[in-house]
Structure 1
Amino acid sequence: MLNRLRSFMTALWTPLADLLIRRGVSPDAVTITGTVGVVVMALWLLPTGHLLAGALLIAVFTLTDSLDGVMARRAGRSGPWGAFLDSTLDRFADAAIFSGLVLWSIGRGDDRPTAILALACLVLGSVVPYARARAEGLGMTAAIGIAERADRLVLVLVGTFLVGLGLP
């Protein structure tokens, strides 16, 4: 669904990507910085109940996930290593987000269904890319399912934001 916005996001990020490249910042540095930002925000703000701030700051750091790709293409540095690093660190970021939500719901003491749902999202969010990579490694076609990572993140962050506003 959000894949349709790829050309818009590329146009949006191109000036910043060019500036960072001129300043000597590597796409890998942006990937790592974005992931560290997501992990810190998710494991600090979400478990402590700061859902609104957590959702907003995680969203900001998550946006760097498209900036690093634009930088790599603009600098002529896209390749297997960057794709591997990005995909691997995406799993860490996703795990941190859902772990933060699990810790928050457990900390409330009475929200077992949310904890179970967040844990299920954590597990399923890791299985999907593994299954796709395994299928492609075996020479099979692995088409995109009902929602890509960006779609899943938008849903969980909007939901977290709304709960942070006090909506059920």
Structure 2
Amino acid sequence: MLSRTGRPFVQTVFGPIAKLFVKMGVSADAVTLTGTVLGVALSLTLLPTNRLVVGSLSLGGLALFDSIDGQIARLTNTSSKWGAFLDSTLDRITDVAIFSGLLAWAYLHGESGAMRTFLMIGLLAAMGTGSVVPYARARAEGLGMTASVGIAERADRLVIILFSALFVGLGLPQWVLLASAWYLAAAGLVTVVQRMAVVYRQAHETTE
């Protein structure tokens, strides 16, 4: 999902909803947890059953809607390290669910032969490198350094993979999803290397 800082457009669109939730007494953590449950449920029910169009659109809309937790936290002055930790941790769960749903789709509905094999490998690789990217940043920050660089931020990965699944669901060939999966796998690897290089420089600067 989107970070708790949100984006101007999203804040404008969903701001009234956030204010309504505040009046109803709904907490930021409750929105975060609900968004994750819905994201996992949609990913593991719609995608494997070949409902790529409705699944991609639903997950994309949910990603935007989830930014409400940050707005609620600001409106109620409840922003905290716990909230940031919960949001980031549950984001990883949602990511795994999305890629797992697409993996199940590829196994059940993908073209037979090499196409399905390479698609599944690409999705697995993209999920793997996508998991290491945030870990590298979190580990660097835990050591007092920064590593917020790279070409494969989470929002970018979600946009690419969900749009690709949407287009395939609308009738485009499956190599569109295949190409996107392998691009994300490579971009994730490049991002990890970029973050390692940044941390390496910082670590050596502190010892000089």
Quickly name the TM-score band, shorter chain normalised: over 0.9
Max Rg structure: 2
2:10/2:64 contact within 8 Å kept:
no
Cα displacement (A) at 1:60:
1.9
Q: Which residue of 1 aligns with 2:140?
A: 135
TM-score (norm 1): 0.93
Separation in structure 2 between the aligned mates of residue 14 and residue 108 of structure 1, nearest angstrom: 39
Mapped pair 1:151 → 2:151: no
Instruction: Output the CA distance in 1 between the equivalents of 2:23 and 2:60.
Output: 26
Deviations 1:83-113 (A, max 9, x none): 0110000000000000011111111362111
1:26 Cα offset (Å): 0.7
What 5-or-longer segments of structure 1 have no aligned partner? none
Residues 53 and 170 in structure 2, CA contact (< 8 A), matched pair in contact too? yes
Deviation digits for residues 31-59 of structure 1 (CA, Å, limit 9, x no counterpart): 11111111001001111111111101111
For 1:163, what is the secondary structure of its paired residue?
A: helix
Give the residue type in structure 2 aligned to 1:17.
Answer: A
What is the aligned length?
166
CA distance in 1, matches of 2:7, 2:104: 33
- Match in the other structure for 1:112: 117
Q: Which moved more, 1:107-116 or 1:78-87?
A: 107-116
Please give the TM-score of this superposition, normalised by the length of structure 2.
0.76
| Cα deviation, residue 147, structure 1 | 2.8
4+ aligned runs moved over 6 Å, structure 1: none
Q: Once the 2 structures are TM-superposed, how far is the Cα of residue 17 of structure 1 from its aligned partner?
A: 0.6
Higher RCO, Cα 8 Å, sep 6+? 1
**Does the 8 Å contact 1:135/1:141 carry over to 2?**
yes
Measure the CA separation in 1 of the matches of 2:123 and 2:96.
10
